[in-house]
Structure 1
Amino acid sequence: MGVVSHRSAAAIQNLGDLDADTHTFTVPRRRHTRSPDVAFRVADLDRRDWHRVDGLPATRPLRTVTDLAADQTDGGYLASIVRDAILTGDTNAAELSHSLRPYAIRYGGPAGDGTALVRTFIHEAGAPTSAIDLATLSTDVDQNAVVIQALTASPEWPEIVEQVRNLLVRTIAPKLNSDGTVADR
């Protein structure tokens, strides 16, 4: 089975601002096509590496970021994809840091330091660095209070509110009836 991946996966999951000028699929065995708009990548994907997006199998945000880093995607584009991947809630800064370790030096960071790379990307993308720290808090801390304090203290607060609003509109609004109740499936 082919899985939507790389730039195409970023596009259908609204990760970053990268154009998907070629429809890219990861397949388990070599395939060919005559279409100049389609590309195949050969790799064995674990079932945890993908999920369904609007009915299509697509690599999860973590795998998408890793694939794009391996492809040497421009750091400015990758920064916004990393930020948006965290905002999906499907991955977190620790997972991304581990996954991006091999690419840190390629993007100007210390060799093997995925954590510094993720922090840099989040800073470049406009999200507060404090957001990355929230992912590492222990569960005995009142996370809601910490989140509210960290976010409202940030100069990027209005932009964050707008991003959250847009995320809610994209994910929740289509599931609501005109009276605000949840639509039956």
Structure 2
Amino acid sequence: MGFAVRPVLREFNCLKSVLKLYFPSMSIVVEPILQELAAGQWGLFTTAQAQARGVSRANLSHRERDGRLERLAHGVYRLGGVPVAPLDDLRAAWMSTEPALLSWERVSSPRVVVGGAAAAAVHECGGINPVPYHLITNERRQTQRTDIAYSRRQLDSRDVVVVAGLPVTSIERTVAHLVDKIGDLSLVGDVLADATRGKRAVDLEHLGLLLTPFAARYGHPRGDGPALLEQLRRSAGIDDVAAARELMQRPAIGSALTEIVNREVEEQLKIIVAGPEPQQPGSVEMREQIERMSTPALPELSRLVSEIADTVLAPVLQRQREQRHLIANTTLARSGDGTRDAAN
């Protein structure tokens, strides 16, 4: 009896699958599941994620055929009607590396990090072709896909950042990787130039350290990463003044430096004004004269501060000190001449 029932059950299950495939109303619960999956993943989801929530491959294939889904990569779909984004293919490739996990579950301690030209594309720096997408892991991986290239490397936590929802190498680590793999400093220089023109702060000291292993390859003394960095900056057309001006465009940095300079100038003025003894004849008038002579210089100082950064701050402060001392000495000399004339 049992052997006779099994064929009937198989036929029933097969019929049920066919009915669900061609009568979507019988599987109406699928749509909310897929929408919920895609909502937190740029409109994308994986087959493994859907299956873990009871959605079969047949459900997905049917929706792909009628246009409700679009397959971006093996096992990765985009909901129909979701606007196409420039990073979708890269996101699909990254999602496929650990398809059962949701994207937001992976970013806090990622086991797969986007690097190389693909990371530069996420940072919106340079114009190097990001394909094949370079993915960095802490374990050996292989793939037959032509759009993905794995490399094994232990990354320091400071060399990994989250940009546009993707874990990518920092701009410093990205530039160092490109110097190693691309070799054309003009292309890599464009990446660095775009980074310095952006709102992010590039840690040039750390970048110099990351470039250390490649210095000799480019004709510099072995281990001289700063020399290679300077060559890269020249290739990118970056100089200290230009970099400083770009840095000063950031409101927080510009405001902080302005406050530092103004505080320094105030201290210098106090020293100058308090220099003469109050008991000396004409000291009150002399202090007022120094303040009148110094005040017009402050707007010019503010203009200078808006064009400089910490790389050129010290020379400006030194010039300001020299100017204030010159004003004080000139005023004292004039005051002394006026006192002698009155006595005569």
2:238 pairs with one of 114, 123, 127: 127
Q: Which residue of 1 aligns with 2:206?
A: 95
Task: Please give the secondary structure, in 1, of the residue aligned with 2:307.
Answer: helix
**1:37 offset after TM fit, Å?**
0.8
TM-score (norm 1): 0.66
1:145 pairs with one of 279, 304, 315: 304
Tell me the amino acid that sits aligned with residue 145 of structure 1: L
TM-score (norm 2): 0.38
Cα deviation 1:61-100 (Å, max 9, x = unaligned): 1111122223253111122223333444342222212221
Name the CA shift for 1:86/1:149 in 2 (closer, same or farther; >3 Å).
closer
Name the CA shift for 1:14/1:109 in 2 (closer, same or farther; >3 Å).
farther
Tell me the amino acid that sits aligned with residue 307 of structure 2: I
1:105 pairs with one of 207, 213, 216: 216
Unaligned ranges ≥5, structure 1: 151-185
2:169 pairs with one of 54, 59, 72: 59
2:141 pairs with one of 21, 31, 37: 31
**1:149 offset after TM fit, Å?**
5.1
Task: Please give the secondary structure, in 2, of the residue aligned with 1:148.
Answer: coil
Which structure carries more helix by proportion? 2
Unaligned ranges ≥5, structure 2: 1-110, 248-256, 263-301, 310-344
Paired residues of 2:136 and 2:153 also in contact (CA < 8 A): yes
Q: Whole-Å Cα distance in 2 between the matches of residues 102 and 24 of structure 1?
A: 20
Name the CA shift for 1:67/1:147 in 2 (closer, same or farther; >3 Å).
farther
Q: Whole-Å Cα distance in 1 between the matches of residues 202 and 171 of structure 2?
A: 7
Q: Whole-Å Cα distance in 1 between the matches of residues 204 and 158 of structure 2?
A: 18
Aligned residues: 147
Paired residues of 2:122 and 2:163 also in contact (CA < 8 A): yes
Q: Whole-Å Cα distance in 1 between the matches of residues 214 and 132 of structure 2?
A: 23
Identity of aligned residues (%): 31
Q: Whole-Å Cα distance in 2 between the matches of residues 100 and 82 of structure 1?
A: 13
Name the CA shift for 1:111/1:144 in 2 (closer, same or farther; >3 Å).
farther
Q: Whole-Å Cα distance in 1 between the matches of residues 261 and 226 of structure 2?
A: 22
Larger Cα Rg: Structure 1 or Structure 2? 2
Aligned-pair RMSD on alpha carbons?
2.8
